[in-house]
Amino acid sequence: MNNEIKSLTPEKEKIDSRGKIHSLLGKFRRQHWVDYAFIVAFVIILIVTALMSDVFFTQRNLSNLMRQSVTNGLLSLGMLIVILTGGIDLSVGPIVALTGIIVAGLYKSGVPLPLAILTCLFVGGAVGAMNGFFIARFKLQPFIVTLATLGAIRGFVYVYSDVPITPTDTAYRAVLGAGMIGPFPVSALIMLASYPVVWFFLNRTRSGRAIVAIGGNEEAVRLAGINVRGNIFLAYILSGLFAAIAGVILAARLGISQPSVGSGFELDAIAACVIGGAILGGGGGSTFGTLAGVAALGMIDNLLNLFNVQSYYQQILKGAIILIAVLARRKQR
């Protein structure tokens, strides 16, 4: 009798193991089919682009594409950190405008460029700290707080200067705006270098792992003794810093700082994060996925520009992309 039981036990273990494997594979497929769908869509867009445009894959156009993607790439990186906490930051567009016009104004008035850039980084971090303070300390809704900041900062930009500012020294633009290292623009290399840094922060540091955990279950993180307020505060500071870097680089690329720039940039950043797998409300997202979302949006914008599609239709398309991505990922939360 015991021998029969022993002989049946390995078979039962094999059946249980197979069942667990099938269960895990089924769960994997359910959770990642959306990612596969977006990858397939991205490949289809590449093929269609190759067939419809002879200009897209030229060196000049690819360099322009990389430069144009830098602003959204940096904004999306900061937005991802905030989304992982379960929040949102609508003030990134005005921060881009504010820091861009400040760096141009300071540099034009004779302030050394490194000092002007550091001042802008401080300003961006300060705006993010203000957002984080009200959200973390008083538990206000991130949407409301950053919406209020959006209006306030946009008004302050026009108080600082209601006319565009153009630096007289072209060295600023030559280095950050038009500088090249081999076939790659300097600005694109700065943006690409930021992604592994943020990946390391989110996956290998205590504060980064806490930020990810807060979006999954804030109460559990609090009960574990982790400083929830401090990490939310840090997330919004980082979002402001990345927006400031984006503003400085954008001003260098354009060669002129306009107070009206940055309108709608927050929509692009949210779209890139959602396409890349970030779940609005917290609980999911990755730096690699966000970078893929930035690349997809940049390619779509570039293709539409090549065919002279008006920007209004581009905004409609981005809004539709966000809606479709959120609907597709609604069960992952």
- The verdict on 239 and 324 lying in the same domain is yes
Between CA 237 and CA 92 the distance in angstroms is: 11
What pLDDT does 17 receive? 46
Which CATH number fits the domain that encloses residue 203?
1.10.3470
- The verdict on 77 and 115 lying in the same domain is yes
Strand partners, 185: 180
* 333 is a domain residue: no
- The verdict on 208 and 225 lying in the same domain is yes
**SS3 letters for 143-180?**
HHHHHHHHHHHHHHHHHHCCCCECCCCCHHHHHHHCCE
Q: What angle in degrees, to the nearest 10, is found between the helix axes of 287-306 and 311-328?
A: 150
* 136 is a domain residue: yes
- The verdict on 231 and 287 lying in the same domain is yes
- The verdict on 89 and 132 lying in the same domain is yes
Between CA 264 and CA 118 the distance in angstroms is: 25
What pLDDT does 304 receive? 83
- The verdict on 2 and 39 lying in the same domain is yes
Give this prediction's pTM. Answer: 0.88
Q: Domain span at residue 86?
A: 58-328
Length of the chain: 333
Residues 6+ apart with CB under 8 A from 93: 150, 262, 263, 264, 265, 266
* 99 is a domain residue: yes
- The verdict on 160 and 304 lying in the same domain is yes
Return per-residue pLDDT of the chain as tens, 333 residues: 445 444 444 454 444 445 544 444 444 444 466 677 777 877 887 787 778 778 888 888 889 999 999 999 999 999 999 999 999 999 999 999 999 999 999 999 999 999 999 999 999 999 999 999 999 999 999 999 999 999 999 999 999 998 999 887 777 788 888 889 988 999 999 999 999 999 999 999 999 999 999 998 999 999 999 999 999 999 999 999 999 999 999 999 998 899 999 998 998 999 899 888 898 888 788 999 999 899 988 988 888 888 888 878 878 887 887 788 778 777 665
Place of tokens 């599609």: 309
* 21 is a domain residue: yes
- The verdict on 40 and 69 lying in the same domain is no
- The verdict on 8 and 90 lying in the same domain is no
- The verdict on 24 and 116 lying in the same domain is no
- The verdict on 173 and 294 lying in the same domain is yes
Give the number of domains in the chain.
2
Q: What angle in degrees, to the nearest 10, is found between the helix axes of 59-84 and 265-275?
A: 80
